[in-house]
Amino acid sequence: MSATMTMAQKVVELTYAELPTPVITKCKELILDAVACGVGGIQTPIGQAALELMRQMGGHPHATVLGADDRGPCGLAAYTNASAINAQDYDDTGHSGHPGASIISAALALGEKLGATGQSIILACLAGYEVGTRVAAAIEPSWERYRQIHGIGTAQTFGSMAACAKLLELDLAATLNAFGVAGATAPVAHAGKFGWADKSIAYIKDNVAWPAEAGLRAALLAQMGYEGSESILDGNQGYWVMAGSDRCDFERLIDFSDYEIMNVSLKPYPCCRWIHTTLDALGKLAVENHFEPSEIVGIEVFSTQPLADYFGRKDPRTFVDVEFSIPCAVALKLHGVPHSAWFHRESWADTEVLDTASRVSVTMEDEYQRLYLKLGRLSHRIPARVAVTLTGGDKLVQYCDLASGSPEKPMDSQSVRAKVLDLTDARMTPESQARLIEQVENLDGIDDIRQVLAEI
């Protein structure tokens, strides 16, 4: 049986009854996190641009825009919400990219149009994670190829498609067509033009929004009889080649012996996941030694080649530059800026924050680069050593290679709730925040997802 057929069959045959309780709990946690990120992210320039475009394009008001009073067609709403969820780079991370932004935005938009139950939403999102993250992991290029070309959000098109195919209850033939359409309409592997060599990081950055809309469209088109390749993932001309990879682990594609969703990480900081081990190490030093930014002579960060080459910017133009800057993230953390406010210009362009950022350096350590490759090039396993020199001459050093929020080091429920409250505070009352949390935590008992989205 082909890989495409095996994956399509898994989507069709997956049932809610077979899901273990920890998997259901994890899925609900990821949905709550994504919704909160969307409510907070819609206020960013990325969220506002996507929202204004949706307004201008118009269409049937089938779906809610998270954190706004607007409604739109489910495709445009999925695009807008995915843009907002990823805008602050605070959303979940998988083996590669930010799967939830694409999967959950598409599932909620279509689910709202359909009046789907909470269980249907959970099952759909689970299907999305199981398909999308497997494709991303299976087609990951070699390090040599990765440095030349790779994509981030492109494989997430399969995740959003699988979620929507499950919501639509497509049969096997239609699901196969949806796979084919999703692969043919997925975005290019654009990460080589992320913006590192340009004036600023591109706003599209991880490219999560088009995969959300494209996957949803693929499922809807398949429902209407639209035909696609039934072997999109297979062979020497399969999707892995289209996505720019130089290899494909076909066994990885079809191995459903465990649940990939359990390997998805939440993020405790609103910046690129690659920076989080640095911030964890810095946080430990700050808690144990109680120093102030004014006492710092310099901060040295020793890490991998990509961080040394690209993540050392100290003169950000935009909030997206800040998300990919170790000096800026370090400074914002040390100055105690609330995470939901990191994107505000008055936060990152503050003279004291920029002064602290100017004292941060990032250097490659050969040993850490080798360890990064050995650990599997995982975004939550970035080796980092932080050395803080204080005015009195003391030098404080801390190492970290396992980021908080990862499966091995998860955020506790109190931290997740605190993140949700911080992100939704400007939009929602304490009462509506409490209801949102309660409803998502009990999503499997919700008869219509519109009940939940009405709170936002």
CATH number of 277's domain:
3.30.1330.120
For the chain, the C-alpha Rg in angstroms (whole number) is 21
Q: What are the residues whose beta carbons fall under 8 Å from the beta carbon of 103, sequence distance 6 or more?
A: 125, 128, 129, 132, 156, 159, 160, 163, 212
| Strands (DSSP E) found in 49-185 | 63-64, 71-72
Mean pLDDT of 402-411: 97
Give me the CATH number covering residue 118. 1.10.4100.10
**358 and 339 assigned to the same domain:** yes
Q: Is 406 within a domain?
A: no
The sign of the torsion formed by the CA atoms of 3, 7, 12, 16 equals positive
> Do 111 and 209 share a domain, yes or no?
yes
Same domain, 181 and 110: yes
Residue where a domain stops, chosen among 383, 400, 417: 400
Tally the domains of the chain. 2
Question: Residues 317, 194, 57, 86: is their CA dihedral positive or negative?
Answer: negative
Between β-strands 296-303 and 360-364, what pairing exists: parallel, antiparallel or unpaired? parallel
- Of the pLDDT bands very low, low, confident and very high (cuts 50, 70, 90), residue 1 is confident
pLDDT tens digits, one per residue of 219-276: 999 999 999 999 999 999 999 999 999 999 999 999 999 999 999 999 999 999 999 9
155 in Cβ contact with 99 (< 8 Å)? no
pLDDT at 152: 85
Q: Are residues 389 and 245 in the same domain?
A: no
Given 400, 425, 445, which residue is the final one in a domain?
Answer: 400
What pLDDT does residue 31 have?
98
Q: Which helix (H) or strand (E) holds 268?
A: none
Within this chain, do residues 372 and 255 fall inside the same structural domain, yes or no?
Answer: no
Q: At what angle do helices 3-13 and 118-138 cross, to 10 degrees?
A: 160
Percent of the chain beyond pLDDT 90?
A: 97
Asked whether residue 377 is domain-assigned, the answer is yes
Q: Is residue 453 part of a domain?
A: no
For 43-59, what is the mean pLDDT?
98
Same domain, 257 and 285: no
What pLDDT was estimated at residue 217? 98
| Nearest residue to 426 via CA among 349, 344, 321 | 344
Structural domain span for residue 337:
273-400
Question: Hey, CA dihedral for 143, 147, 153, 157, is it positive or negative?
Answer: negative
Nearest 5°: the CA angle 437, 409, 206 is 70
Angle (nearest 5°) at CA 416 between 414 and 422: 100
pLDDT at site 213: 98
51 and 89 in a single domain? The answer is yes
3-13 helix and 172-185 helix, angle to the nearest 10 degrees: 120
C-alpha–C-alpha distance, residues 213 and 220, integer Å:
11
Are residues 71 and 207 both part of a single domain?
yes
C-beta neighbour count of 281 within 10 angstroms: 23
> Is the same domain home to 320 and 172?
no
Beta strands in 333-434 (DSSP E): 360-364, 384-390, 395-400
Report which of 35, 220, 217, 222 is spatially closest to residue 121, judged by C-alpha positions.
Answer: 35
Cα 82 from Cα 102, distance rounded (Å)? 6
Residue 83 domain-assigned (yes or no): yes
- Three-state secondary structure along 190-254? CHHHCCCCCCCCCCCCCCCHHHHHHHHHHHHHHHCCCCCCCCCCCCCCCHHHHCCCCCCCHHHHH
Token pair listed for 347: 């936060």
240 and 299 within one domain: no
CA angle 373, 262, 30 (to 5 degrees): 110
Residue 432 lies in a domain: no
pLDDT of 76 over the 90 cut: yes
Summarised one tens digit per residue, pLDDT across range 270-318 is 999 999 999 999 999 999 999 999 999 999 999 999 999 999 999 999 9
Other Cβ atoms less than 10 A from the Cβ of 371: the count is 15
Return the pLDDT at 80.
Answer: 98
Is residue 49 located within the same domain as residue 130? yes
CA-to-CA distance for 406 and 35, rounded, in angstroms? Answer: 19
Is there a domain that residue 45 lies in?
yes
Q: Which pLDDT value is given to residue 455?
A: 85
Based on the fold, state whether residues 30 and 82 are members of the same structural domain.
yes
pLDDT tens, 173-190? 999 999 999 999 999 999
* Torsion sign across C-alpha atoms 317, 322, 324, 330: positive
- Among 263, 293, 308, the domain boundary falls at 263
- Note whether residue 180 is domain-resident: yes
In a domain, 409, yes or no: no
Main-chain dihedrals φ then ψ at residue 189, nearest 5 degrees: -80, 90
